[in-house]
Structure 1
Amino acid sequence: MSNEALIVEQEGHVATFTINRPEKRNALNPEIHAGMVEHIDRLSEEGDVRCLVIKGQGDLAFSAGDDLKRAPGDPGPQPTPGKPAELQWPHRKTVQSIFDAPFPVVAMIDGYCVGGGLALATECDIRISTDRAQLGIPPSRLGIIYDYERIQVFIDLVGPAFTKELFCSGLRVDPQRAL
């Protein structure tokens, strides 16, 4: 059960979601968010899964974040700088499904993990990263406003000072610095 942008596999008690848009550095779109919500809910109801792994296709990116260059007319709300609710609504449903899942959700991070991709990874219970990962939040460069709940997750994970540095500078860091 997969769609083109999200590959869903299950082997034994482990399910794997692969964000399958390598040509877009696995940028997230409404189709991916809807697929994650649908399949997390289904796997939760079936009760056979004991762990869910989320990863990106290829070795360039876990996810470059929300697709800010979607064509007009694509399904779902169009991203608009300065209007957080339009961009974040699909992500909120995904986050709630991850939070409600009766199994741990693991983000396997390789390559770029920025913006909405990093927000998705921080919502997972466990994050595992290669040394090649580059983590960052670029809202200050893009004019995107993050809501308090998403920022609070970062504060809880890395503290207020590093959260301010990430959000205000837009810099990318390696996994060792992110610790």
Structure 2
Amino acid sequence: MAQASLSVEERSDRVHIVLNRPESRNSIDQGMIDELHAVCAKLESGPKVLVISGAGGTFASGADIRQMIDRGRTEALAGINTTLFQRIAALPMPVIAAIDGYALGGGAELAYACDFRIATTRAKIGNPEAGLGIIAGAGATWRLPELVGEPVAKEILLAGRVLTAADALELRLVSEVVEPAGLLDAADALADRILNYDPDALMATKRALAAPRSAHPQVDLDEQAILFESDAKRARMTAFLNKRGQNKKTAEGEE
């Protein structure tokens, strides 16, 4: 399904979206934001794993400066990008950012909002907002320190450090680095590993991870109480016990 700013491929268990404004290195404009909100609405009502990538050898170069330059106090307080990235972070099922080339500014903040990040060898990740007279105001000032630690976050946000793919892997900002041609295959392989798990358990885990520290351990107990009553829990545990029993019999037969 082609849209103005996105290409969307929906499968039975996942959705692939491609940020598709290569003429502006996939800068995030209002049209793209609106289309991403529409994708979020669909995934909130029908949860699936989401994979986000960019067209043309770039993930996203940041917010569209042509629109940003005319935004003022009202738009800043409205949190145009912040609201979207919060919604992506809160999607029920895991979200994977597949980063090729530049992920800068708002593009980097979009990647930070995802649960997983995979990069190509030519990825570059940074937040040059202060050079444009603004801050990285859509999550980087608090998500990035959580992801890479405060000292490195300050290098990126205050001194313009741009992370290479090797840097990002060493810092665990990305979980894997691959050649560009293998990026989407790697994202699908990660999605396959995720989808080996029970969807309800995945969604419960995401909710528990997102809960404030003060909510634990009660939030864990509440989520577990629901899962303990589920048919999936009993079926998966029964299958586990049966498989373990079969493996034990096989091992005994080989002795």
Report the TM range for the smaller structure's normalisation.
0.7 to 0.9
Equivalent residue in structure 2 for 1:69, among 56, 59, 66: 66
Residue 53 of structure 2 aligns with an amino acid whose one-letter code is K
Q: Which structure shows the higher helix fraction?
A: 2
Q: Post-superposition shift, 1:84?
A: 9.2
1:59-102 per-residue CA deviation (whole Å, 9 max, x = no partner) reads 2x1000101024xxxxxxx4458859539722122112212211
Equivalent residue in structure 1 for 2:91, among 101, 115, 134: 101
CA distance in 1, matches of 2:163, 2:139: 22
Q: Which moved more, 1:19-28 or 1:8-17?
A: 8-17
Residue 46 of structure 1 aligns with an amino acid whose one-letter code is G
Does the 8 Å contact 2:79/2:138 carry over to 1? no
Does the 8 Å contact 2:81/2:138 carry over to 1? no
Q: Which runs of 5+ in 2 are unaligned?
A: 172-255
Q: Post-superposition shift, 1:54?
A: 0.5
Q: Who wins on radius of gyration, i.e. which is larger?
A: 2
Give the 5 Å matches for 1:1-179: 1-47=1-47, 49=48, 51-59=49-57, 61-70=58-67, 78-79=68-69, 85-86=75-76, 89-147=79-137, 149-178=139-168, 179=171
Structure 2 length-normalised TM: 0.61
CA distance in 2, matches of 1:111, 1:121: 13
Q: Post-superposition shift, 1:128?
A: 0.4
What SS class does the counterpart of residue 117 from structure 1 fall into? helix
Q: Post-superposition shift, 1:12?
A: 2.1
Q: Which moved more, 1:119-128 or 1:96-105?
A: 96-105
Aligned length: 169
Query: Cα RMSD (Å) of the superposition?
Result: 2.2
What SS class does the counterpart of residue 141 from structure 2 fall into? helix
Aligned partner of 2:225 in structure 1 is none
Residue 147 of structure 2 aligns with an amino acid whose one-letter code is L
Residue 110 of structure 1 aligns with an amino acid whose one-letter code is D
What SS class does the counterpart of residue 27 from structure 1 fall into? coil
Percent identity, aligned pairs only, is 34
1:33-79 per-residue CA deviation (whole Å, 9 max, x = no partner) reads 111111111122034x2x100000122x1000101024xxxxxxx44
Structure 1 residue runs of 4 or more that deviate by more than 6 Å after TM superposition:
none
CA distance in 2, matches of 1:46, 1:125: 18
Q: Post-superposition shift, 1:161?
A: 0.4
Q: Post-superposition shift, 1:170?
A: 1.7
Residue 173 of structure 1 aligns with an amino acid whose one-letter code is L
Does the 8 Å contact 1:107/1:124 carry over to 2? yes
Q: Which runs of 5+ in 1 are unaligned?
A: 71-77
Q: Which structure shows the higher strand fraction?
A: 1
Q: 1:82 to 1:174 in 2, by over 3 A?
A: farther
